[in-house]
Structure 1
């Protein structure tokens, strides 16, 4: 693996971690809102 490929991989892994965190936060927000509204599934 070349240096540029390793840097790209590291950047993609960082972006992936950021997106996973954003998704988890949004899922928590939705769950909280559903609980506040008394919606159950």
Structure 2
């Protein structure tokens, strides 16, 4: 199992410097790593 994370920031003039709007951690089973993730 692998854990990945993602964050979303409000837009500012600097990359990834705006206030955090959301963040999450996901657990992925290794077998699924070869399958593209789509919503």
Q: Same fold (TM over 0.5)?
A: no
TM-score interval, normalised by the smaller of the two chains: under 0.3
TM-score, normalisation: structure 1? 0.15
- Quick check: which one's strand share is greater? 2
The structure number with the bigger radius of gyration is 1
**Greater relative CO (CA pairs within 8 A, separation 6+):** 2
If the length of structure 2 is used for normalisation, what is the TM-score? Answer: 0.15
